[in-house]
Structure 1
Amino acid sequence: MSSSSAALADYRAALTSPGALVPTLASALARLPIAMTTLAVLLYVQRATGSYAVAAVVSAGTLAGESLGAVAQGRWMDRVGPMRPLLLAAGLYAVAATGLILVIENGAAIPVLVAAAALSGLVRPAMPGASRALWGRLVPAGPRRDAAYSYEAISLETFFILGPALAAFLVTAPWPGTALVVAVSGMVVGTTVFALSRPVRTQEPAVGGPSIGLLGAVARPGMRTVALASLGFGLVIGSVEVGVNAVATEQGSPTLGGVLLSAWSVASVLAGILYSLRPWPRPLHLRMPFLLGAFAVCVAAMALVGPLASLPVLVVAMLAAGALITPQVTAHSLGVEATAPAGTATEGFGWIVTAAVLGISAGQVAAGVAVDVAGAASSFLVGGLAGAVMAGMLWWRRATLAPQPQEALARA
């Protein structure tokens, strides 16, 4: 199972396809706050409670709720079309997020905070899956569609890095809830505009797929392997988000975390574009374990910011790790395209998002505890070890992603 490389002209052709402008811009506005919201909640609660561990648990509640909602919404959109589910989710999310802010402001007990966070995550609009699935309607199969999927991966990963960076800056405002309000507003407005755009309004439900039962898209072994890769990726990302902001706090500069994550974003985007031109290893069943393993090694090296080295070592290791982010997300997107059963595109991508947010959630919790117990640098060791273990599991399951002659013939 390999993927073709995408030329820069294919990116331009895909993004300028008839009808693509409005949903593309609206999707960008709605998806930017996804990761921004996670860190905004974490930093907001940390300032309210004084504990990274408590903040990480509450933030993890948001991600746990989203992990359930993304799959359910994706399956519903595949069955009835995306417009109605997205509009309903946008309205419910505005109400639930307002409730979360109120319980934080009123100093509610930890179980109440976690429950409110989980509810807001549950109804958060499943925009990544809806946005990706729309390209199958707007762009014909071939290099342009491959470029469109690569754009989705590059832009989503950009938002996953720029979002936390923006949250880290906004949380220093006089009211620390500013970052969360900005994130919720962007998601609600962007989702609404996307859902009401003409290509989305006229999108028909997916038809022609096989009966896949309760497991849905992950009934396929290959799809489960792609989800596993996304889970490992999330584990590492979550640990870094907590660790970088903890390092910034130790250095006495809360905004330093935003600067570092912004630099990470630049490295990720540039490397992602270059990597899409000459992907290596080309076969996905080899690419996924290699990229995750290298990612884990680079993140573990960030722990040298402790007593063994200085802050510049963290920056160098972080930029090296950032160069491996977008190539992984691109591989996940191509994996969904190759392994998800027919008629389950939105749900399939929902599973990938679910796996990623579960990984981020667990990574944040583990890193938050590590920071409280052993200091900021220990969070990077936690993330590196988790990523290495998951890379080994991907290598063990690589045969489920290897090209199968009958599958290739069916797709042709």
Structure 2
Amino acid sequence: MLIATALVLMMTVPALALFYGGMTRSKSVLNMMMMSYVAAAIVGILYVAIGWSMGWAGDVDSGGTFFANPFDLFWLKDVGTENYVFVMFQMTFAIITCALISGAVADRMKFSAWLLFIPVWAVIVYFPLAHMVFSCTADSLICGRIGAQDYAGGTAVHINAGVAALVLVLLLGKRSGWPKDKMRPHNLTLTMLGAGLLWFGWYGFNVGSIVIVDQDITAEMGRTFANTTLATMAAILGWLVIERLVHGKATSLGAASGIVAGLVAITPAAGAVDIEGAVAIGAVAGAVCAWAVGLKFRLGYDDSLDVVGVHLVGGIIGTVLIGVFSTSDGAGGVDGLLYGGGLGSLGDQSLGVVVAVLYSGILTAVIALGVKYTIGLRLDEDDEVGGIDLAEHGESAYDLHQGSFSSGAGSTGVLAKSTVRTEEGAQA
């Protein structure tokens, strides 16, 4: 569990920071990475103060429907040090959920607004949803009263972050020049590196989660490890096939995005399905998410780095398909539709999704509107055009004025030849 916890923390810093940072423009990369780093700092401390208590205070039979008492275990009062690793593990989930949202608001959200939004959102939205999913109490709403399965956070992490991202995007508005101007990823090497590190860290995410909830861990660890691996592989292929068919190219950015889509989709299902189900879920997620990222162009919402198309859509796919592919041999002991279980599990999974979407969407809107009408959400247009790194942090990621570069060589040549997102909406 120490290793799993360290791996999940690595998923935010540096893996997500690199993944998102490479996808932004060069004038925004430092701000993008800073949003992940400060999320870790703020949410981590806040989680120890009240987040653990909101999620885990109470007992198995009476832990609260939406959240537990924030002050029962305030600053880990009466929590033995032997449980600190478990606390830190859950803390890393809170951190990455908040950090995931940042990709949707790249280039244009005020850093001060982010610093205010994150702690309020964590307390009001994430900590309660984590209780509904992870606390394993009979009263907790999603995995207790409803009876949905979610082993590592399809609802509490990915659907939650994806819905919050969509709400923020709608309230922020479009980036200056979008979609007419091509917003090119400035360094796909960073993105590919970040995607690889996310895949590596995700074994802590999924396998660590199954260790916590299952006593016969040897068999379930193997199942979860294999499912995580195979679903990701299938998602890469699913994404690239759709890219190739629709846009004529199979791209590195598509492969990196397929990795994340597969990992997102298998997250809730990691302990519930067999390897055939894992491959099916991964392939469906890769293909559907590759299509879904283009919806922002059709519907007109500027989700900068496709948080909605990957995390919201992928999270819904993985959570709902548990009701189709789960087996009684899995940790939950529930047969899905394809294994003779009828529609019961599919109904539970779908209801869990609806609860997560409504809870996150409504409360995120309230919080974001509060920030918007107090300190403001959006950067000034001149600062946005000039670059958020310089405007908000007084820094530039690349000092390209030191020395000279010949045409097509060095940093400028690499940046000029970066693969771009097409205006039509898929990743190319």
TM-score of Structure 1 vs Structure 2, range by shorter chain: 0.3 to 0.5
TM-score, with normalisation over the residues of structure 1? 0.35
TM-score, with normalisation over the residues of structure 2? 0.34
RCO higher in structure (CA 8 A, sep ≥6): 1
